[in-house]
Structure 1
Amino acid sequence: MNNVRTYNSSVRVGNWNEDIQLEEDALKEFLEKRDRGELPSQKRSKLKDLLFKPVSLSISRDGYVHYGDIVALECLGSQDRTNYTNDGPRSTCFLSTTPQASNLLQMNKLEGNCDVSGSTTLEPNLRSSFVITGCEPHQTKGDKLCYGQDFFLCTLDGEGGSLFLQSDRATLQKSAPQSRHQAVTYVPKPSALTKWKILYYDPRMRMENEGLPVPANNIVIMSHTVTNQDLAVEENFLMRTPFGHKEYEISANTFLDSHRAEKDVNRWMIMMGVPGDEIRPIVPDCK
C-alpha cells in the first residue's frame, strides 16, 4: 500500500477554476481584438501599408517648382567618391518621415512629432512625399518657388497629417541622437523654426540666382532660415526604424569642403514628375 499514488496531475488544486476562467477570458479578448483588427501586429502591418503607400509626384510642366507641388527630396549617393563610409559608398536616399515608437501603434495617420531619416526606398510614398507650402499670404498655390524665399516643407494632407519640418539649435538636451548635430523632426504646428529656403548649389553663383525660380529635378541646397544650417545626410550614422530598416540619420548641419562649398551630403534634388509621366504605362513586376 505504500506504493499507491493518492495524487496525480489530473487532480485540481488551488484556484483551478479561476485559472481556467482567466484563460478563457484572455482567449475571448484575443479573438475579439483580432476580429476588430486591434492586435499590435495587425496595427503595425496596417501602418506600414499606409506609410509605404505609393504617391504620385506633381508634374512640372514649365520645369520649375511651385507652391502646392508634391515633391520628394533626393540626396544622390557617393559612388564617385573615394572617401566612403565605414559600410562602403553611401547610397542614394529620399528624405522620409518615421512615427516615433511611442506613438507607432496608436495612429491611423502621421501625427504628433515624427522622426526624419534618409530612406533608400526610392519610390515616392507617403513617408517621402511632401508639399511645398507658402508661409506668407502672398505665396499662393501655383506661384513659383524662388531661391531665398522662406517656405514650409509639409507632409501630405489627410493621412499625411500636414506636419511641418522643423529644426533648432543643438543643445546638450536636444540634438540628433548619434551625430549630435542639429536635430530635424516633423511637428504639428508651424513656427519660425519650421521655415526653410532653397539656395543655389554653387556658392560662387548664389547671389546671382537669388530671387530666380527654383528648377525641378536639379541639385539645390536646403537651408534652415533661423540657424542657417543646411539639411544633411549623416552618412556615417545609420538608424534602425520600427519597420526593421536601416536608414541614414538626417540633421541640419553644413558640411564644407576645402573650397568652402557644401559637400554632397548637403545637396538635394527636388524631385517632380515631367510631362508624360501621367500617361506612362505601368510595367508589371515579373519577379
Structure 2
Amino acid sequence: MANVRTYNRNVRVGNWREDATLEEESLKDFLHRKEKGQLTVQKTGMLRQNILKPVHLTVSQDGFLRYGDTVMLVNTEGTKSDPHEPCTLSIIADLSNVMSHSQVNTDPYLQGPCQVGGASSLKPCVRNAFVITSVDGTSNGTVLRYEESFALRTTAGFAGGLYLASDLRTFEKCAKLSRQQEVSLVEQHGFFCWWRVVYFDPQERLEHEGYPVQGNTKVLISHCKTNQCLAALANHVLWTPFGKEYEVTAHTFLDSHKAEQKSNHWMFITADPNEQEQSILQRQHVSPITHEHQPNPKTVIDTQGEKEN
C-alpha cells in the first residue's frame, strides 16, 4: 500500500482555480505593459538610447566661445597624487528622472534634479552636451568673455533643458562621497545657476578679464554665488547606470602657491571643423580603452590663444 498513488497529475487540489486565474491575470498584465513599453528593461533601453544619442557640437570659426554654442566640458587630468584620464561633465539619470507628457506629448524627457559626474567617454552625445546660455538677455552669437556671468543648460528635447546649479553646502545637501558642495541639474533658472569663466593662470588673470574666452583651452569655471570652482575628483568614484565615473563638485583646490590645481582645470570642447561628428579632443586624444596595447598614447594638446585686439 505504500506504493499506491492517491492522486495523479490530473487531480486538482486546493485553490487551483484561484491560482490559475492569478497566472492568467499576471500574463495579461505583462503583455499589456510590454505593448505600452512600460517594462523595466524597455524603459532602461529607452533611457540609454535617448541619452546616448549623438549630438553635433558647435564649430567655432575663430576659436572663441559664443552664447548659444553647444560644447562639452572636459577635465583633462587630475592631481599628481590622483591622476585620471580626461573626463566629461555628464548627466547621471535613472528611470525616476524620466517623465512624459501623457496628454500633450508622448515623447519622454528628463526631469530634475539630476546628478552629474565625470564620464570617460569623449564622444559628444545628449548626456555630455551643454549649451552656453545668457543670464542677462544677451543675444546668441555674442562672444563670451572672462568674468562674465553665464549659465550652462542641457540640450532641448530628451535632456529637458536643465541648468547646471550649485548652492552652499549644508549637512543635508552635499556631495555623497566627498561631502563637498554639490553640483546638480535643476529645472528652474536662478542665481544659483550662474557661472563665470576665470583664466587658469593667476598671474595673468587680471590682464585677461573682459577678453573673449577661447575654446579648447584650460580655464576655471567658478560659481558666482559661492565663488567655488567646478572640480572633478579622481579619488571619489561613483558607480552609475553608465559605469564607473568621477564625482563632480564645486570646490576650489589650491596648491602651496595659492593657485588652482588641475582638478579645477576644464576645457570647453567644440567640434572639429574637418569632421563635425567628433570633437577636437577626440582627434587629439587616443582612448586607452580602445588602444590599450599602445605603449605611448597621444596626449591632449593644449594651446593657449592670444588675446583679441
TM-score by length of 2: 0.83
Asked whether the 8 Å contact 2:47–2:95 carries over to 1, the reply is: no
The letter of the residue matching 1:260 is K
Asked whether the 8 Å contact 1:100–1:115 carries over to 2, the reply is: no
Question: Which consecutive aligned stretches of 4+ in structure 1 deviate over 6 angstroms post-superposition?
Answer: none
Asked whether the 8 Å contact 1:40–1:105 carries over to 2, the reply is: no
| 1:6 Cα deviation after fit | 2.4
The letter of the residue matching 1:249 is E
Describe the shift of the 1:73–1:3 C-alpha distance in structure 2 as closer, same or farther (beyond 3 A): closer
Q: Which of these residues, 92, 96, 100, is aligned with residue 90 of structure 2?
A: 96
Asked whether the 8 Å contact 2:118–2:245 carries over to 1, the reply is: yes
Describe the shift of the 1:180–1:215 C-alpha distance in structure 2 as closer, same or farther (beyond 3 A): same
What is the rounded CA distance, in whole Å, between the counterparts of 1:196 and 1:82 in structure 2? 27
Q: Which residue of 2 aligns with 1:5?
A: 5
The letter of the residue matching 2:258 is R
What is the rounded CA distance, in whole Å, between the counterparts of 2:145 and 2:77 in structure 1? 26
Q: Deviations over 1:57-103 (max 9, x none)?
A: 0010111000000000011124xx642x3xxx312100001125633
Describe the shift of the 1:3–1:162 C-alpha distance in structure 2 as closer, same or farther (beyond 3 A): closer
What is the rounded CA distance, in whole Å, between the counterparts of 2:112 and 2:30 in structure 1? 29
The letter of the residue matching 2:252 is T
Q: Which residue of 2 aligns with 1:146?
A: 145
| 1:14 Cα deviation after fit | 2.0
What is the rounded CA distance, in whole Å, between the counterparts of 1:234 and 1:278 in structure 2? 30
The secondary structure found in structure 2 opposite 1:33 is helix
The secondary structure found in structure 2 opposite 1:31 is helix
Asked whether the 8 Å contact 2:99–2:110 carries over to 1, the reply is: no
The letter of the residue matching 1:166 is A
Q: Deviations over 1:142-186 (max 9, x none)?
A: 000000011110000122211000101111111000000000000
Q: Which residue of 1 aligns with 2:63?
A: 63
Aligned length: 272
| 1:228 Cα deviation after fit | 0.3
| 1:274 Cα deviation after fit | 4.2
1:213 aligns with 2:194: no
5+ long unaligned stretches in structure 2: 101-106, 279-309
Where does 1:135-174 land on structure 2 (aligned, <5 Å)? 135-137=135-137, 139-174=138-173
Describe the shift of the 1:3–1:267 C-alpha distance in structure 2 as closer, same or farther (beyond 3 A): closer
Asked whether the 8 Å contact 2:231–2:248 carries over to 1, the reply is: yes
5+ long unaligned stretches in structure 1: 281-287
Q: Which of these residues, 252, 255, 260, is aligned with residue 253 of structure 2?
A: 255
Describe the shift of the 1:2–1:61 C-alpha distance in structure 2 as closer, same or farther (beyond 3 A): closer
Q: Which residue of 1 aligns with 2:123?
A: 123
What is the rounded CA distance, in whole Å, between the counterparts of 1:205 and 1:126 in structure 2? 35
| 1:257 Cα deviation after fit | 0.9
User: Aligned-residue CA RMSD in angstroms?
Assistant: 1.9
What is the rounded CA distance, in whole Å, between the counterparts of 1:3 and 1:128 in structure 2? 70
